[in-house]
Amino acid sequence: MSVCQAGGQHSGGIKTPHTAGVAPTFDIVHAKISTQGNIATFHMAVADKAGTSKPTKTGKLAGSRVFSYVWPTSMNSEVVGFEKNAGILALAVTSHSDFDDTPLFDENSDNNPGNDGDIWHSHWVVLQPDDRCGKGALGVVDIPKGTHPTLPKTWPGLPILLDSPGWDPTFVNETVEVRVPFDDINVVNNARYDGVTAGLRVNQSVHAPLLCVVDVKDIASGDLSLPGKVGPQLHQ
């Protein structure tokens, strides 16, 4: 892994060699967050075409899988509308065939916003270590029954700290990107980040912990140390 400042097709960000045994569509070679104006661009490049592998449909929510491209950050969870210091704030691009969690958006344009979870879409998620997901594993933070934490306006109603803001990911060959506007871009410019590809799983009992990271495929830094520095994009 190296943290680069300039040069090449994938300039700046975190560059990492191919990882043996990882499917090319999830084998990270570059991860980066850059900003221009009030827009942050979350970028990831993999060894082969991104977004070509999706979970197989099982027909039930319990035990269903989620595939994801994820940018964990050092930004505080309150930046996007969650409670302050709730956990690790990450932007995730996900696909899952057995449920839909973007009730405000109709990704496949069929006039039904509740049937297109398999189409790649973006989320903000808040993660914390949760040994119930496996020793040393991370899980999306659950909302305990009877509590009412601060949540983003586009929270989809699931009992976890997950937001569905509707920022469409763009896939071009080996890259996936998401462009996200911020009221204060300095919170991004001052942040650190990493890149992860992973599989998540819905709990078999559909109870807490509801959504666990169970299959980390690749980590840009190798150790989730968030070595990437954002900073504004420099004009050539």
pLDDT of 212-233, one tens digit each? 999 999 999 999 999 999 976 6
The reported pLDDT for the residue numbered 6 is: 38
Q: What is the pLDDT of residue 59?
A: 84
With CA atoms as reference, report the closest residue to 11 among 31, 26, 25: 31
Residue 236 pLDDT exceeds 60: no
76-99 burial code (b ≥16 CB/10 A, e <16): bbebbebeeebbbbbbbbbbbbbe
Sign, CA torsion 19/87/70/140: positive
Residue 221 is predicted with a pLDDT of 97
Query: Percent of the chain scored above 70 by pLDDT?
Result: 85
pLDDT tier, 124 (very low <50, low <70, confident <90, very high otherwise): very high
Q: What is the mean pLDDT of the chain?
A: 89
Residue 215, judged by CB atoms within 10 A of its CB (0-12, 13-18, 19+), counts as: middle
Residue 133's SS3 state is: helix
Kindly tell me if the per-residue pLDDT of 17 is higher than 50. Answer: yes
pLDDT of 140 over the 90 cut: yes
Bigger pLDDT: 78 vs 98:
78
User: What pTM was estimated for this model as a whole?
Assistant: 0.90
Number of helical H runs and strand E runs in the chain: 1, 15
Instruction: Name the token pair of 91.
Output: 């932007």
Query: Residues 18-75: pLDDT tens digits?
Result: 999 999 999 999 999 999 999 999 999 999 999 999 998 888 888 899 999 999 999 9
User: What is the residue-wise DSSP string for 42-79?
Assistant: EEEEESS-TT---PPP-SSSTT-EEEEEEEEBSS-GGG
What is the distance between the alpha carbons of residues 65 and 195, in angstroms, rounded to a whole number? Answer: 20
- Sheet arrangement for strand 175-181: 2-3, 14-15, 28-36, 39-46, 175-181, 170-172
pLDDT at 177 over 50: yes
Q: How far is CA 176 from the centre of its chain?
A: 11
Residue 5 has pLDDT above 50, yes or no: no
- The per-residue pLDDT for 101 is 65
- Going from N- to C-terminal start, the domains of the chain cover 2-229
Q: Which amino acid is at 60?
A: K
Question: At 199, is the pLDDT very low, low, confident or very high (cuts 50, 70, 90)?
Answer: very high
Of the given ranges (102-111, 114-123, 197-206), which has the lowest mean pLDDT? Answer: 102-111
Phi-psi region of 51 (alpha: psi -120 to 50; beta: other; left: phi over 0): left
Joined tokens for residue 25? 């569509």
152 vs 50, 97, 124, 155, 195, CA distance in Å?
29, 24, 10, 5, 23
Is the bond leading into 72 cis (omega within 30 degrees of zero)?
no
Mean pLDDT of 107-122: 63
Q: Residue 189, SS3?
A: helix
CA 85 to chain centre: 18
